[in-house]
A and B are shown apart, each in its own frame.
Chain A
Amino acid sequence: MPDGFIVTVIKSLILANLVMGVFAMLTWAERRMLGRFQVRLGPNRVGPFGLLQPIADLLKLIRKESLLPVGVNPVLYLAAPVVSLFASLAVFAVIPFGGQATIPGTDFKIFLWVSNPSVALLVVFALGSLSFYGFLVGGWSSSSKYSLLGSMRAVSQLISYEVSLALAVIGVVMMSHSLSLTAIVEAQHRDGLPYIIPQFLGFAVYVVAATAETNRIPFDLPEAEGELVAGYHTEYGGMRFAMFQNAEYVALIAFSAIASVLFLGGYGWPWLPGPIWMLLEMAIFIFVAMWLRATLPRVRYDKLMSIGWKVLLPAATLNLLVTSVIVAWRA
């Protein structure tokens, strides 16, 4: 904690609330954008352009009765959404949004990250693997067959795609010689080109695997409503259901932020402040995810598994081999 304890706590509070605010606006933006893609209007009644729709949704969900289905394990049932949301939100503790900055009007300097460990990328993956437990425990403790099947699908899909995701990222680690996210950004600007160019195959694998990791169409098999009602959160209502949805959106924002840092050069570009660059790059990834959702149908379950193991994994391994040969040859 180079900024001291109090400043770090304040920064964490501000960041967590900002992410929640962005989540609320994303639900509106996604529905508006889907409307445009599908030649209809989307929500436009609550406030100007429907901008107050998230608040209306929140009020509706808060006023729902807090139900506990018969036969559930109450502790696990209540803890599962909290675990999911915590694991998604905690990733932002290690994401850098800029270097050192001065608070306007004072000469007080702060770092624009909450924490900068030397193993930041491993922390991201550790928290990602903890988020699986929210889905698995939520589905198991609901004592419903749809929930259990949904959570089984979710976990097998997440495990399969996490392998490719991790392998795709190792190429970046090799080129930058570091697991620290700030060091990866600095290495890209020292070499003068973002890693999306030399690591394009790794980037492509990352985007596909991240789409699967965030359970988004075309990989939203865990909650395929045609066959599983709603998957692992079938038995959840009100704010607990909202927490699961919240966790998925926050994971989408987190994966976009990590992609910006790893492949697009993060906050280090000139002319604009670092956080603005991060927001622009994240907006690109989030827009692409919504575009995919509006365009593609859901893939079949066996296709999902064969894409993960027979296409993405060999591609990521090839990327890893070529990168390691080049890195070793240049060293």
Chain B
Amino acid sequence: MTYDIVFVVASVVAIVAALMVVLSGNPFISSLALIGNLIALATFYLLLQSDFLAAAQVIVYAGAVMIMFLFVTAYLGGRADEPTRQRPIWQTLAALVAAAGIAAEIVFGVTRESFLHGPVVSDAFGAPQAIAGRFLGRYLLAFEGTSLLLLIAAVGGVVLATRRPAPRGADEPGAFEVERPQRVRSLQSSVMQAETAFEVVRTGARADEKDEA
């Protein structure tokens, strides 16, 4: 009885949150709704006796991944484009086809004979020890492959973030240089100036300005 109430409440939350993700025009609200959806899914995992999976879902998806989404949307603020306006017609059609495909899969799965009487599992099902045994035993290759992929992605992110555009020559169009003042009065003022008082000087004329001259 308690389980039924929890299931119904979690289902309603999951569906409403999923609708808000796609219907809200504000990316920040959409991300928040997606967090609600992920937490509702974690509740389903709890009902299915998978405590570890539920906790991992909240830590990894609702915690780590979504905080990055929100961080970026909050930084970009109002400048983020509203993705729902003026989309091409083929996008709507492709979304409808994909939705129909998923609906067909769900109907096929639910009407199967084995769905009506679900599997009986032991209390140890879904425990961290059992999952770790699978990851480090039978599925070791896939597990290590995934971790290697994540490592490559992390290194790639660092490389992309630290790459600077090649320095331009002083005469090329659009070249900038940062000039720091050279005068030194005292130790304190020199530190202050190094921190604050630098000037950005444009050394090369841009192409359009050359035309006007």
Select the residue from A119, A132, A179 with max chain B CB neighbours within 10 A. Answer: A119
> Which residues of chain B from 30 to 63 have a CB within 8 Å of any chain A CB?
32, 35, 51-52, 55-56, 58-59, 62-63
Task: Kindly list chain A residues whose C-beta atoms are within 8 Å of the C-beta of B58.
Answer: 126, 129-130
> Which residues of chain A from 154 to 188 have a CB within 8 Å of any chain B CB?
155-156, 159, 179
Q: Known A119-B52, A119-B55, A122-B52; judge A129-B63 contact (CB<8 A).
A: yes
Q: Are A126 and B35 in contact (CB under 8 A)?
A: no
Q: How many residues of B contact A (CB 8 A)?
A: 20
Nearest-neighbour CB distance to chain B for A4, whole angstroms, equals: 12
Q: Known A122-B52, A126-B55, A130-B62; judge A159-B67 contact (CB<8 A).
A: yes
Complex Cα–Cα for A133 and B35 (A):
10
Option from B51, B56, B74, B128 in Cβ contact (under 8 Å) with A152: B74
Is the contact region of chain B dominated by helix, strand, or loop, or is it mixed?
helix
Complex Cα–Cα for A122 and B64 (A):
14
Q: Are B51 and A117 in contact (CB under 8 A)?
A: yes
User: Does chain A have a CB within 8 A of B70?
Assistant: yes
Residue-by-residue, is A120-164 near B (CB-CB < 8 Å gives 1, otherwise 0)?
001101100110110011011000000010011001100100000
User: Does chain B have a CB within 8 A of A118?
Assistant: yes
Is the contact region of chain A dominated by helix, strand, or loop, or is it mixed?
helix
| Total A-B residue contacts, Cβ distance less than 8 Å | 60
User: Does chain A have a CB within 8 A of B143?
Assistant: no
Assign chain A's interface to a size class. 20 to 34
Task: Kindly list chain A residues whose C-beta atoms are within 8 Å of the C-beta of B55.
Answer: 119, 122-123, 125-126
Q: Are B75 and A122 in contact (CB under 8 A)?
A: no
Q: Are A126 and B71 in contact (CB under 8 A)?
A: no
Task: Kindly list chain B residues whose C-beta atoms are within 8 Å of the C-beta of A132.
Answer: 63, 67
Q: Are A137 and B32 in contact (CB under 8 A)?
A: yes
User: Does chain A have a CB within 8 A of B127?
Assistant: yes
Q: Are B63 and A130 in contact (CB under 8 A)?
A: yes
The 4 closest A-B pairs by CB, nearest first: A129-B63, A122-B55, A126-B58, A140-B74
The 26 listed contacts between A and B (C-beta, < 8 Å) are A76-B32, A117-B51, A118-B51, A118-B127, A118-B128, A119-B51, A119-B52, A122-B55, A122-B56, A122-B59, A125-B59, A126-B58, A126-B62, A126-B63, A129-B62, A129-B63, A129-B67, A132-B67, A136-B71, A148-B74, A152-B71, A152-B74, A152-B75, A155-B67, A156-B71, A159-B64
